[in-house]
Amino acid sequence: MMIEALLAVALVGALVTFVAPNRIAGKLAFAISLVPAALSLWMFAAFDGSGNALLDGTLAFESQVEWIDLGSYTISWFVGLDGISLPLVVLTTILTSLAIMSSWTPIDNRESQFYGLILFIEANLIGVFAALDFFLWFIFWEAVLIPMYLLIGIWGGPRRKYAAIKFFVYTNVASLLMFGAFIALVLGLGDGVTSFALPEVANAMLNGGPDGLFGLEGTTLASVVFVAMFLGFAVKVPVVPFHTWLPDAHVEAPTPASVLLAGVLLKMGTYALLRFNFTMFPDQVETYAVPIAAIAVISVIYGAMLALAQTDLKRIVAYSSVSSMGYVILGLVAYTQFGIGGATFQMVSHGLISGLMFMAVGVIYNATHTRLVTDMSGMADRMPVAVGILVAGAFGYMGLPLMSGFAAEYFIFFGAFGAGFDYAPLFTALAMFGIVLVAGYLLFALQRAVFGPYRLETDYEVSRAPLHDIAPMFVLLGIIIALGVAPDLIFEMITDAVDPILENGGEL
């Protein structure tokens, strides 16, 4: 019942915060969010699962109750964690707490609604990672949209309305496509499948695959479904060329929402890709490996090039997320232990680092009210600690060794270099060029914005950031370094859950 407890605390907390007075909402929400954080850390310590949740693994904190009977199919309340989802749940709870604390400064109106929505989003994110029934999962998956829409729309930047609706509609269309594809798959699987429980579907997929449907052969159907689901998730990830909602949403969102958006929401897409496409369709992964790898490489390089062209700090970080997600795709398609494990590791790592970056940029924005590198210079002079953390985060993003980003990227590169698909080394080498580009645009931005003689175009007095803005970043930095020095803190857990995937066709 631990997962239920997590969800309940977050949901009830959201309601309580929603009706709490604005004055205390921030502190209250933070206090509430500590409960899931602590619980999830305890779960992390007490984790006793093994194997992959979809592939006959032993689930931790499992619970399953039949919910709705649709005649031929049943829908269950079915949650549980394995080595892939648990780190992501912990990431979610910790990042939420820190995001809440980092909102104390910038959020100055309708606080109770803001923090209520943040807690609500936390609940849904936990649900996405914990749910093992398709419908249940899909509920959480879609329900994330509402709070994020409102967070961007109400507390966002100047183009918030455009960004919010774009995010909302674009990702929803993708979800519909994915939903349709999955339903078709389940129908195609025939009588062998009587529920939407993901393990059951995965099992059926791996033991025979679908019969024909819509006049399509079984294998054709599987391919169609694979492609459709890939496209559906590709928007959420996002993968070039479906990425254009992301810079708008990230840039316009208020800092804490950006933190969650980049930190956790993007991982929903890659997590889903891993759970669905890359777990259930080993044959199709093999067939489509080369195009997918090409997409990954394009995402990496193209995203980095776009970041290079930006002058808005937040936009830079936003586009760099496109690039980083490209690495994840590359790792997934590698279909090796280090590839998929590294991709999962990168999900966590990127969540931490991009969260840190958005917080740091946010702190600078709070002080200067601008994010354009052309508007400022020498911020290190006025806010040394914040800038120090920004620099540290930037180096983390660049994959500086002994920070989690390096571990993740190294695992991915290593996993992809030896992958089984054609030209894997070449694709990997191309994708790796991202580490040069990322250094290019981040260092360039740093040079212009935080170093050099002090200058600020906006009319604000810049002073040191308060402790509650800085503290969350220190926590993140600590975790980033800890994971960089000791990746096995989670990597062992992850690979344990990844291995069963590889037994179904991938090569070790």
Q: Name the minimum Å distance from CB 295 to other proteins.
A: 14
C-beta separation of 15 from 30 below 8 A:
no
C-beta separation of 314 from 252 below 8 A:
no
- The residue among 42 and 214 lying less far from other proteins, judged by its C-beta, is 214
Instruction: Provide the token pair at 41.
Output: 């850390």
| CA gap 468, 479 in Å, rounded | 17
Determine the interface stretch with other proteins among 34-42, 54-62, 323-331, 414-422 (rule: CB under 8 A): 414-422
Instruction: Provide the token pair at 121.
Output: 């989003």
**69 is a contact residue toward other proteins (CB under 8 A):** yes
Q: Name the minimum Å distance from CB 135 to other proteins.
A: 8
Q: Name the minimum Å distance from CB 356 to other proteins.
A: 17
Instruction: Provide the token pair at 265.
Output: 């929401």
- Give the type of residue at 373: V
**140 is a contact residue toward other proteins (CB under 8 A):** yes
Give the footprint of other proteins on residues 6-65 (CB under 8 A): none
Q: Name the minimum Å distance from CB 77 to other proteins.
A: 9
Which residue of 24, 64, 375, 444 would you call a contact of other proteins, by CB under 8 A? 444
**169 is a contact residue toward other proteins (CB under 8 A):** yes
Which residue of 417, 427, 477, 497 would you call a contact of other proteins, by CB under 8 A? 417
Give the footprint of other proteins on residues 300-319 (CB under 8 A): 302, 305-306, 308-310
Q: Name the minimum Å distance from CB 439 to other proteins.
A: 5
Q: What is the DSSP letter of 197?
A: B
Which residue of 108, 161, 192, 369 would you call a contact of other proteins, by CB under 8 A? 161
Assign 108 to helix, strand or coil.
coil
C-beta separation of 136 from 276 below 8 A:
no
**192 is a contact residue toward other proteins (CB under 8 A):** no
Q: Name the minimum Å distance from CB 441 to other proteins.
A: 8
Q: Name the minimum Å distance from CB 38 to other proteins.
A: 25
**428 is a contact residue toward other proteins (CB under 8 A):** yes
**338 is a contact residue toward other proteins (CB under 8 A):** yes
| CA gap 190, 172 in Å, rounded | 28
Calculated CA dihedral for residues 100, 102, 105, 108, nearest 10 degrees = -30
Instruction: Provide the token pair at 505.
Output: 């066709």
**436 is a contact residue toward other proteins (CB under 8 A):** yes
Which runs of consecutive H residues, i.e. helices, occur in 207-335?
A: 218-236, 245-252, 255-260, 266-275, 277-280, 282-287, 289-308, 313-334
- The residue among 41 and 426 lying less far from other proteins, judged by its C-beta, is 426
| CA gap 195, 66 in Å, rounded | 10
**352 is a contact residue toward other proteins (CB under 8 A):** no
